[in-house]
């Protein structure tokens, strides 16, 4: 058993409990991917088997059917309250990646999310982003306050010392809380293996291809792989040189694409 | 120091707290002395940067009309690259044969001191970087002082940019003497002082042949020479209550054991309220209840008596209680724009407790920039 995973697990549980204690109206963003799956498992550990807040899924209508089926089955198994958010106006107007990938992300994901935050009045939102995913996420705080429009002031973030998270904010501030910020992609898979947690089957290789990162069907590519089990994926990640999000088309649109999306409230 | 000699018995079910195999290292020092460059170079020389990241960085440098910039691995924000300065702290991951590292880059510019402290506060050890020619500067002193205040005792000093002076040993020795003397005043003894060129790669991952007069470790070796961090199981048991869950007709007291250990059946006391009880069960979902809880573990307790202790109280074993006081003496590093005022009411956070506090006397004051 890896003691580094113990340290990460304890840190994450501490953060989850802190968020639950500090924000009376808290929710967790559930993207159906491996990182959210680990985050939910950690939350069930933190709260002794319960999920004492709703799971929010932002549905762009472009997700793989296997993802939606997995979502519905697992939320039932966990006894979780699932809230599905959709930017109906943009969907009705025919928004899709053909109108520009970044515009589509902004409309269907960022706006879908901010509409949901406004409607439900969530003060805290738990997100499973990780520092090793890409450069702008490497700069994140664990408790990351957002402005009225969910904007991220990445050039002037508050200090964050030890586990004394900043929780005194002006009325109306919404805070993104990142319980697994310090985990790497490899840690996620090692933990899934150790805890025997079920994940979406799209991650496992079929016909020589697998998804390394899950997103919307038109903008998410597969990698060549024969890794068909969690253990085989761990072995593959130890030698792979390409970055994790190489198959995510929106990241590749232009320089600083992710920084610009995230400054406006993207996850 | 009477608790120091206590040795923890091994835990059950393979839950022994072993030494951590991951170490968090912060790189600190004055602005423009080369912190981000050192990190980029370290990753590059050990083949840890994915080729696509190298291509992305090369593309940005080409558009800017400048040579390949190693600092861009950490300085990922557009504003950081345009202004050539690290604005916020960033963390990245690094692996040697010995262990895994979290490398924390800290901004050196005075304006971003709060971000430097944010980065340094989570570190287990530090590399203090200096420009060999410029020597000890304002932020060198301030950052070193903050390391000592944060309790980071494992420090390696790197003296950079020696390529600018033809790897002159005397330049290195002058700066080495200055920084050693200064660190001595802070009670910090550096594990080693390494002459380097982050831009050219000397003494980073390999020694190279331009400083044969130096026989000490490279940066990579210096990292591996740092000691592991151990959970404080040998100290008295302390458990600050983080939250109380009133579910299914019972009260679970949730939190993290900060130090020591406790067993089911141990008599315990909440402080400062003084309520006494006995540990009834130790929860760790989805496992069966535990027989004992140890430093570093996030667990839940239930107790033999119904009590109404709240977040902020500290649980201790009744035979080994901490002292409770109403007045403390503390070193305070003041970051806010408004001055710290004697007699004014402040909110003091200590573990999970939050209390009102007033300063009764300022006994000594020092400006960290003129140490």
Q: Which CATH number goes with the domain that contains B211? A: 3.40.50.300
- Whether B72 is covered by a domain: the verdict is yes
Examine the domain organization and report whether B100 and B124 are in the same domain. Answer: yes
Residues B78 and B176 occupy one common structural domain: yes
Kindly give the pairing relationship between strand A82-85 and strand A55-58.
Answer: parallel
What SS3 state is found at A248? Answer: strand
Residue B367 burial (CB < 10 Å; 0-12/13-18/19+)? Answer: exposed
Q: Do B88 and A154 touch (CB under 8 A)?
A: yes
pLDDT for B369 equals 66
Q: Which domain holds residue B280?
A: 238-317
| Domain CATH number, residue B288 | 2.40.30.10
pLDDT of amino acid B298: 96
- Of B204, B225, B246, which marks where a domain is finished? B225
pLDDT higher than 60, residue B12? no
Q: Is the CB of residue B254 less than 8 Å away from at least one CB of chain A? A: yes
Q: Give the contacts of A96 (CB within 8 A, at least 6 positions apart).
A: A62, A104, A218
Quickly state the pLDDT bin for B20 (edges 50, 70, 90). Answer: very low
Residue B162 falls inside a structural domain: yes
Query: Where does a domain end: B293, B317, B341?
Result: B317
pLDDT, averaged across chain B:
88
Residue B371's pLDDT is what? Answer: 64
Check if B339 contacts A (Cβ < 8 Å): no
* Assigned domain for B6 exists: no
How far apart (Å, rounded) are the C-alpha atoms in residues A62 and A64? 7
**3-state DSSP assignment of residue A216:** strand
B174 and B31 part of one domain: yes
Domain boundary among B225, B254, B283: B225
Total tally of structural domains belonging to chain B: 2
Q: What is the mean pLDDT of residues B347-355?
A: 93
CA distance A149 to chain B (A): 21
B61 touches chain A (CB under 8 A): no
Q: Kindly identify which residue of chain A lies nearest to residue B122, measuring between CA atoms.
A: A162
Digit-coded pLDDT (tens) for B315-334 = 999 999 999 999 999 988 88
CA distance A85 to chain B (A): 29
Q: What is the pLDDT of residue B10?
A: 37
Decide if B298 and A17 are in contact by the 8 Å CB cutoff: yes
B167 shares its domain with B93: yes
Residue B53 lies in a domain: yes
Up-side HSE of residue B349: CA atoms within 13 Å toward CB? 12
* C-beta atoms of B298 and A4 within 8 A: no
pLDDT for B264: 98
B96 in the same domain as B54:
yes
Residue-wise pLDDT tens digits, B133-176 = 999 999 999 999 999 999 999 999 999 999 999 999 999 999 99
Quick one: three-class SS letters along chain B? Answer: CCCCCCCCCCCCCCCCCCCCCEEEEEEEECCCCCHHHHHHHHHHHCCCCCHHHHHHHHHHHHHHCCCCCHHHHCCCCHHHHHHCCCCCCEEEEEECCCCEEEEEECCCCHHHHHHHHHHHHCCCEEEEEEECCCCCCHHHHHHHHHHHHHCCCCEEEEEECHHHHCCCHHHHHHHHHHHHHHHHHCCCCCCCEEECECCCCECCCECCCCCCCCCCCCHHHHHHHCCCCCCCCCCCCEEEEEEEEEECCEEEEEEECCECEEECCCEEEEECCCCEEEEEEEECCCCCCECEEECCCEEEEEECCCCCCCCCCEEEECCCCCCCCCCCCCCCCCCCCCCCCCCCEEEEEECCEEEEEECCCCCCCCCHHHC
Residue B248 has a pLDDT of: 87
- pLDDT value at position B15? 42
pLDDT value of position B7: 36
Q: State whether A243 and B50 contact (CB < 8 Å).
A: yes
Half-sphere exposure of A42 (CA within 13 A, CB side): 31
Lowest mean pLDDT of A228-232, A248-252, B7-11, name the range. B7-11
Cβ separation of B285 and A4 shorter than 8 Å? no
**What pLDDT is recorded for position B196?**
97
The confidence score (pLDDT) of residue B6 equals 35
Shortest alpha-carbon distance between residue B20 and chain A (Å): 6
Report the C-alpha gap between B254 and B77 in whole angstroms: 38
Percent of chain B with pLDDT over 90: 60
pLDDT of residue B205: 93
Least confident interval from A93-102, A149-158, B3-12: B3-12
Is B154 found in the same domain as B32? yes
CB within 8 Å: A159 and B88: no
Nearest CA in chain A to B256: A14
Same structural domain for residues B133 and B204? yes
Q: Is B88 on the interface with A (CB under 8 A)?
A: yes
pLDDT digits (tens, 9 = 90+) for B286-308: 988 999 999 999 999 999 998 88
Of B22, B56, B296, the CB nearest to A10: B296
pLDDT at B110: 80
Do B99 and B245 reside in the same domain of the chain? no
More confident residue, A222 or B5: A222
Per-domain boundaries in chain A: 3-184+255-263, 201-252
Q: Which fold has domain A3-184+255-263?
A: Rossmann fold (3.40.50)
Q: What is the pLDDT of residue B1?
A: 35
Cβ of B300 within 8 Å of Cβ of A45? The answer is no
* pLDDT score at B17: 41
- B284 and A CB contact within 8 Å: yes
Q: Is A232 on the interface with B (CB under 8 A)?
A: no
Q: Which of B45-49, B206-210, B273-277, B299-303 has the lowest mean pLDDT?
A: B45-49
Tell me, yes or no, whether B357 lies in a domain: no
Q: Least CB-CB distance to A48: which of B17, B90, B300?
A: B300
Residues B73-109 pLDDT 10s: 888 888 888 888 888 888 888 888 888 898 888 888 8
Would the pLDDT of B19 be above 50?
Answer: no
CB contact under 8 A, B118 and A256: no
Do the beta carbons of residue A167 and residue A143 sit within 8 Å? yes
Judged by phi (left if over 0) then psi (alpha if -120 to 50, else beta), residue A33 lies in: beta
Q: Can you tell me the mean pLDDT for B191-211?
A: 95
Whether residue B166 sits in one domain with residue B277: no
Nearest to B20 among A7, A49, A141 (CB): A7
Torsion sign across C-alpha atoms A63, A65, A69, A70: negative
């Amino acid at each position: 058993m890896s003691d580094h995973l113990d340290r990460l697990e304890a840190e994450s549980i501490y953060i989850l409990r802190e968020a639950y204690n500090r924000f009376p109206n808290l929710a967790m963003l559930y993207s159906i991917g491996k990182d959210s799956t680990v985050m939910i498992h950690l939350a069930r550990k933190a709260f002794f088997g319960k999920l004492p807040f709703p799971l929010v899924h932002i549905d762009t209508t472009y997700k793989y059917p296997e993802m939606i089926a997995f979502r519905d089955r697992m939320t039932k198994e966990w006894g979780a309250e699932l809230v599905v958010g959709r930017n109906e106006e943009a969907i009705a107007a025919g928004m899709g990646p053909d109108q520009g990938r970044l515009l589509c992300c902004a409309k269907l994901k960022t706006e879908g999310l901010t509409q949901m935050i406004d409607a439900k009045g969530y003060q805290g939102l738990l997100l499973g982003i990780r520092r090793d995913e890409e450069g702008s996420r490497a700069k994140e705080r664990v408790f990351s306050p957002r402005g009225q429009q969910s904007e991220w002031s990445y050039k002037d973030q508050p200090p964050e010392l030890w586990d004394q998270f900043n929780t005194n904010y002006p009325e109306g501030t919404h805070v993104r809380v990142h319980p697994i910020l310090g985990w790497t992609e490899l840690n996620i898979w090692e933990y899934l293996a150790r805890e025997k947690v079920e994940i979406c089957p799209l991650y496992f290789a079929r016909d020589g291809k697998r998804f390394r990162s899950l997103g919307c069907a038109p903008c998410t590519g597969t990698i060549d792989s024969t890794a068909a089990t969690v253990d085989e994926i761990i072995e593959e990640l130890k030698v792979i040189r390409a970055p994790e999000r190489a198959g995510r088309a929106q990241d590749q649109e232009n320089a600083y694409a992710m920084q610009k999306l995230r400054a406006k409230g993207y996850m | 120091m009477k608790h120091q000699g206590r040795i923890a018995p091994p835990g059950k079910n393979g839950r022994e707290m072993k030494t951590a195999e991951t170490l968090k290292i912060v790189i600190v020092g004055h602005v423009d002395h080369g912190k981000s460059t050192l990190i980029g170079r370290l990753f590059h020389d050990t083949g840890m940067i994915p080729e696509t990241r190298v291509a992305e960085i090369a593309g940005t440098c080409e558009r800017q009309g400048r040579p390949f910039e190693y600092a861009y691995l950490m300085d990922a924000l557009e504003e950081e690259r345009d202004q050539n300065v690290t604005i916020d702290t960033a963390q990245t991951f690094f692996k040697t044969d010995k262990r895994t590292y979290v490398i924390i880059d800290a901004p050196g510019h005075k304006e971003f001191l709060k971000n430097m402290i944010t980065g340094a506060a989570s570190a287990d050890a530090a590399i203090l970087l200096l420009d060999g020619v410029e020597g000890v500067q304002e932020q060198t002193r301030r950052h070193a002082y903050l390391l000592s205040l944060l309790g980071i005792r494992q420090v390696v000093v790197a003296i950079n940019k020696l390529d600018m002076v033809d790897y002159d040993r005397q330049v290195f020795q002058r700066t080495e003497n200055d920084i050693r003397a200064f660190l001595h005043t802070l009670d910090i003894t550096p594990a080693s002082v390494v002459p380097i060129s982050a831009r050219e790669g000397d003494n980073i991952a390999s020694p190279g042949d331009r400083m044969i007069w130096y026989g000490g470790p490279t940066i990579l070796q210096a990292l591996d020479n740092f000691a592991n961090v151990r959970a404080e199981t040998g100290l008295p048991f302390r458990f600050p209550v983080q939250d109380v869950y009133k579910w299914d007709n019972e009260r679970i007291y949730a939190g993290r054991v900060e130090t020591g250990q406790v067993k089911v059946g141990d008599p315990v006391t909440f402080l400062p309220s003084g309520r006494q009880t006995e540990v009834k069960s130790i929860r760790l979902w989805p496992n069966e209840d535990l027989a004992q809880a140890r430093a570093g573990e996030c667990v839940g307790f239930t107790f033999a008596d119904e009590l109404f202790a709240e977040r902020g109280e500290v649980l201790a074993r009744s035979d080994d209680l901490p002292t409770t006081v109403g007045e403390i003496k503390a070193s305070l590093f003041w970051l806010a724009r408004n001055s710290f005022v004697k007699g004014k009411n402040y909110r003091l956070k200590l573990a999970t407790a939050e209390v009102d506090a007033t300063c009764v006397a300022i006994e000594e004051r020092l400006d960290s920039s003129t140490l």
